[in-house]
Amino acid sequence: MGLLRYTIYRLIQAIPVLIGISVITFVLANLAPGDPVRLMLQGQQADEELIRTIEQRYGLDQPLHVRYWNYMTGLVQGDLGYSIHRDRPVTDLMLERTGPTLLLVLSAYLFAILTAIPLGVIAAKRRNEPTDHISRIVALIGVSTPSFWIGIMLIIVFAVKLGVLPSAGLVYPWQPPEAAGHGSYLEHWIETIRHLILPMIALGTLQMATLMRVERTQMIESLQEEYVKLARAYGVPERTILRKHAFRSAQLPIITIIGLNLSTALGGAVLVETVFAINGIGRLFIEAIQQLDYQLIMGITMVLGFMFVIGVVITDISYAYIDPRVTYGERD
């Protein structure tokens, strides 16, 4: 019950955060220069009467505070609004683009975790040795380099110069092979991986570098604890000390970083999808901003904000499974 109360408490705390996100996004989007109706009718013969009709249809002729209240009223009822430029519900547009973004973000996280944790453990075990110095340099470069620049460099080297990997688009594993022009499931999965490698590395490098630095620091601190020294004094093998004594206690900050970096990964996906021409939510968000599609901008922002809040709550709850000392208000 303590865990349930804590979860409900954190979700209630998230409500003002989401309201703040909605207010800031709505005001900034509507104060941006330009007219969404005129952008939609660009290149067409349109008189003022047609423009006013379209504005009335989408409620753009109403005051800003009225439009915000109408949007939030619909949002509470599960309505994310209607896209002006695409003349379709925002929910349908986002559902079409969710798959590519999830595939990209989850694969980038998998790449980051599978590379950062082993490298961080090795760097801590071989502290101040050449392996440690190299890992720290790699982490510093990864943290300092924007994901879109990494993506551009990967395209130039592996797609343009070497020609070994594709530079644009994704092959979706949930589609039948025939839809992508492949003769078998094996060929289909191979092409899925080939198209995913470059954007996965571009998006996951920052996460990998961050996790590796934290993992190294935490492992060094864990290896200096008294219980580790006692285990060494009793002759416990170093491999056992690393795996059973030092490693688990060092993972609590890693869980925190993974949860909090969700927003960074989603933000990076916006640029990476643009660089690699991936039809995901990030690219849809860029198109919505360019077209001043207010409803679509709000819908994407609110969904991403909600995902971040849920990620933070799940991260907090995961503490109980890693550190038994975390009780979430339960009393003995």
The predicted pLDDT at position 322 comes to 61
The predicted pLDDT at position 198 comes to 92
Write down the pTM of the prediction: 0.78
Report the candidate in 206, 213, 199, 327 with the shortest Cα–Cα distance to residue 272: 199
In degrees, rounded to 5, the angle at the alpha carbon of residue 133 between the alpha carbons of residues 128 and 137 is 150
The predicted pLDDT at position 314 comes to 77
The predicted pLDDT at position 332 comes to 47
Q: Which segments in the chain show pLDDT lower than 50?
A: 332
Helices (H) and strands (E) in the chain, counts: 15, 0
The predicted pLDDT at position 201 comes to 92
Could you read off the pLDDT of 181-221 as tens digits, one per residue? 777 888 888 888 888 999 999 998 888 888 888 888 888 88
Q: How many whole angstroms separate alpha carbon 214 and alpha carbon 52? A: 56
What are the residues whose beta carbons fall under 8 Å from the beta carbon of 193, sequence distance 6 or more? none
The predicted pLDDT at position 29 comes to 79
Report the candidate in 231, 233, 275 with the shortest Cα–Cα distance to residue 249: 231
Q: How many whole angstroms separate alpha carbon 92 and alpha carbon 149? A: 31
Amino acid at 320: A
Residue count of the chain: 332
The predicted pLDDT at position 153 comes to 93
**At 171, is the secondary structure helix, strand, or coil?**
coil
Domains of the chain by start residue, with CATH: 3-90 (no CATH), 92-292 (1.10.3720.10)
Q: How many whole angstroms separate alpha carbon 303 and alpha carbon 285? A: 12
Report the chain's terminal Cα–Cα distance, integer Å: 13
